[in-house]
Amino acid sequence: MKILITGAAGFIGFHTANVLLDRGDEVIGLDNFNPYYDPKLKEARVAQLEDKKGFTLIRGDITDRETVAKAMNGVDRVCNLAALAGVRYSMEHPEEYILNNIQGFFEILDEAKKQEIPGLIYASSSSVYGGNDKSPAQETDRVDDQLALYGMTKKDNELMAHTYNKLFGIPVTGLRFFTVYGTWGRPDMALFLFTDAILNDRPINVFGEGKMQRDFTYVDDIVAGTVAAIDKNYDEEIFNLGSGRQEELMDFIATIEKACGKEAEKNMMPMQPGDVRASLSDVSKAKEMLGYEPKTMISEGIPKFVEWYKGYYKC
Ligand SMILES: NC(=O)c1ccc[n+]([C@@H]2O[C@H](COP(=O)([O-])OP(=O)(O)OC[C@H]3O[C@@H](n4cnc5c(N)ncnc54)[C@H](O)[C@@H]3O)[C@@H](O)[C@H]2O)c1
């Protein structure tokens, strides 16, 4: 297949493109290399993709219709992963989220309609569950209680995709990713921040007094679910992609300390606005309809990340 991946220089986009290229698909990667975090990391990811047969990079923005039209030309699937992905940053810069996540997704959807693209798979987020305290979270739960502007933009994407499916028949699959971690990970996320601080002898900020629980999902599992969604190409579905397990934040930190061979100095801090205390996915729908089987435990995934970090940053 010929697949357009937006956000291909990003953490999940890079890993997804890698797997698709390795199995022989053609991948068009579209990314604007925005400076939300160090663009050098994005360049380094893309440099790896450019070494592979079948990869074409387009440097450009999903909010620009001409770029989107060119990138989408003749593709069998669009996988929209481009977005501003930080929950906390969305509190201070809501306008950037409206532009990139909502306007950008609109351009993708509307161009997909125009070009009659056979399938659109897009990243939503566990953030849509917001204040829903039913656990584990299921796709059929109400998701009207967003606690962060970021989650609001993802819920908006789901509504737009639904409307375009109903009005124009575009096949759309939304993927609600639960806290993804792994090699080549994002510098604004907990695993990266904690590893970086511990290895460089700086204290770590532990929010929610360490009493938070998260469904941490290894990136290889997320990619397997994403690729299955691209292949199945259902008419209209939403899937949770998580690990289906819940980890205590303090156990997560202890696993990082073990992998780093050092204990962290911890600043215990209150909850931050927009954060949820706990997340846990029910992945039975993805198991049944996508053959999704998350395999990687944090005891295996965290050491892989720390090894990558040490190699990449030469420490
Ligand atoms: N990582 C997670 O834990 C997680 C959890 C839930 C949902 N998601 C979603 O998954 C997707 C991928 O996340 P990620 O962790 O790989 O983030 P990321 O920031 O590493 O990747 C996103 C990429 O999109 C690009 N981008 C952003 N706006 C763009 C625009 N207007 N035009 C072109 N490119 C643009 C960025 O430069 C970046 O390379 C996002 O939609 C995110 O919201 C991620």
Q: Which atom of ligand 1 is nearest to the CA of 62?
A: 32
Establish whether residue 177 lines the binding site of ligand 1, counting it when its CB lies within 6 angstroms of any ligand atom. yes
CA-CA distance, 176 to 158, in Å (whole number)?
Answer: 10
Choose the residue to mutate in 12, 64, 65 for probing ligand 1, maximizing ligand atoms within 8 Å of C-beta.
Answer: 12
Q: Which atom of ligand 1 is nearest to the CA of 63?
A: 31
CA-CA distance, 291 to 209, in Å (whole number)?
Answer: 37
Q: Which atom of ligand 1 is nearest to the CA of 39?
A: 37
Ligand 1 centre from 185 Cα, in Å? 11
CA-CA distance, 115 to 12, in Å (whole number)?
Answer: 26
CA-CA distance, 169 to 163, in Å (whole number)?
Answer: 9
How much is the pLDDT for 276? 81
| Neighbour count for residue 164 (Cβ, 10 Å) | 20
Choose the residue to mutate in 5, 34, 219 for probing ligand 1, maximizing ligand atoms within 8 Å of C-beta.
Answer: 34
- Sign of the C-alpha dihedral computed for residues 229, 234, 235 and 239 taken in this order: negative
User: Measuring from atom 28 of ligand 1, which residue has the nearest CA?
Assistant: 83
How much is the pLDDT for 90? 92
How much is the pLDDT for 275? 79
Angle at 70 between CA 2 and CA 20, to 5 degrees: 25
Please, what CATH class does the domain formed by 2-181+217-244+281-294 belong to? alpha beta
List active site positions. 150
Max alpha carbon distance in the chain (Å)? 56
pTM confidence score:
0.98
Q: Is 116 exposed, middle or buried (0-12, 13-18, 19+ CB in 10 A)?
A: exposed
Angle at 173 between CA 168 and CA 179, to 5 degrees: 145
CA-CA distance, 259 to 307, in Å (whole number)?
Answer: 8
Q: Which atom of ligand 1 is nearest to the CA of 34?
A: 37
Q: Report the chain (315 residues): mean pLDDT per 10 consecutive residues.
A: 98 99 98 98 98 98 98 98 94 96 98 98 97 95 93 97 98 98 97 97 94 96 99 98 97 97 96 86 98 98 98 93
- Sign of the C-alpha dihedral computed for residues 16, 21, 26 and 31 taken in this order: positive
Establish whether residue 123 lines the binding site of ligand 1, counting it when its CB lies within 6 angstroms of any ligand atom. yes
Q: Is 305 exposed, middle or buried (0-12, 13-18, 19+ CB in 10 A)?
A: buried
Q: Is 111 exposed, middle or buried (0-12, 13-18, 19+ CB in 10 A)?
A: buried
Locate the domains of the chain by residue range. Answer: 2-181+217-244+281-294
User: Measuring from atom 19 of ligand 1, which residue has the nearest CA?
Assistant: 10
